[in-house]
Amino acid sequence: MSGGTRVAVVTGGGSGIGRATCARLSEDGFALAVIDLVPPPTADPGDLALTADVGDAAAVEDAVGAVLARFGRIDVLVNNAGTTGGPAATVCHETPVADLDRVLATNVRGPFLCSRAVLPTMLAHGAGHVITVASSAGIAAFPGRCAYTASKGAALMFAKALALDYAAAGIRSNAVCPGFVRTPMTQWRLDVPELAAQVEANIPLGRVAEPDEVADAISVLASGRMGYMTGHALVVDGGWTAR
């Protein structure tokens, strides 16, 4: 790897927003380490594909160690891995505690563990950018998704906390807050015409986002062109939170 090549780690990079982000960052010239629960595909033979549960501290440390052994540095971390918790994770009194724990482990503990593992190398280099994929649900609550909404609010505030704590060290932290995006997690709803119509009726632009559109926002942040931005929530939701 040439000395000028930047390295990005993308969690949940095997599908949906993560996969689109990997493709976009590869086009932007990043060397990639892709982390997912199953071995994720990589577009470039020089990229690194790793299997890890972002909620498992030891697995995250091992994965980051493998990235540093291959590339020697990490310039950008994209905390993208996430889960809605499945159909049972609905209103508070009906959500099983196990489902809440699963959502928090992925959506809150995951960004914490991944950032915690990556920050020492960013500190050593005096630069870095942590980009956390939160959600517009972290700004305005989604009905019937208590655990998910709570977790994404926490993920957004976590990104802001990192921004404050590490700005003086040259490390920035921002969040991207998508609205409804066409991914494997949401396709079941979009495949039902009545449910899809309900979703689209609440979006001023009248349609759900495609993963590439969220990847575009992540790409802009990762590029460094907005170098004065930290602690920000970049909302990509078709106007949903503007209502």
Amino acid identity, residue 81?
A
Sequence-separated contacts (24+) of 101-104 with Cβ below 8 Å: 103/147, 103/148, 103/151, 104/147, 104/150, 104/151, 104/154
Query: How many Cβ atoms are within 10 Å of 91's Cβ, its own excluded?
Result: 11
Is the pLDDT confidence value at 25 over 60? yes
- Per-residue pLDDT, 188: 67
Residues 42, 13: Cα–Cα separation, whole Å: 9
The superfamily in CATH containing domain 7-181+210-242 is NAD(P)-binding Rossmann-like Domain (3.40.50.720)
| pLDDT tens per residue across span 69-105 | 999 999 999 999 999 998 899 999 999 999 999 999 9
Residues 40, 49: Cα–Cα separation, whole Å: 6
Which residues make beta-bridge pairs with 175? 132, 233
Amino acid identity, residue 14?
G
**DSSP assignment string, 17-29:** HHHHHHHHHHHTT
| pLDDT tens per residue across span 164-194 | 999 999 999 999 999 989 877 776 667 777 7
- Per-residue pLDDT, 3: 59
Where does the chain have alpha helices with state H? 16-27, 57-71, 97-104, 110-125, 146-166, 187-190, 193-201, 211-223
Is the pLDDT confidence value at 145 over 60? yes
Q: In this structure, what DSSP letter does residue 209 have?
A: B
Assign residue 177 a region (left: φ > 0; alpha: ψ between -120 and 50; beta: otherwise): beta
Kindly report the length of the chain.
243
Task: Give the pLDDT mean for 115-136.
Answer: 98
- Per-residue pLDDT, 93: 97
- Per-residue pLDDT, 232: 98
Identified catalytic residue from 30, 71, 148, 180? 148
Closest C-alpha to 230, from 151, 127, 140: 127
- Is position 148 annotated as part of the catalytic site? yes
- Per-residue pLDDT, 40: 73
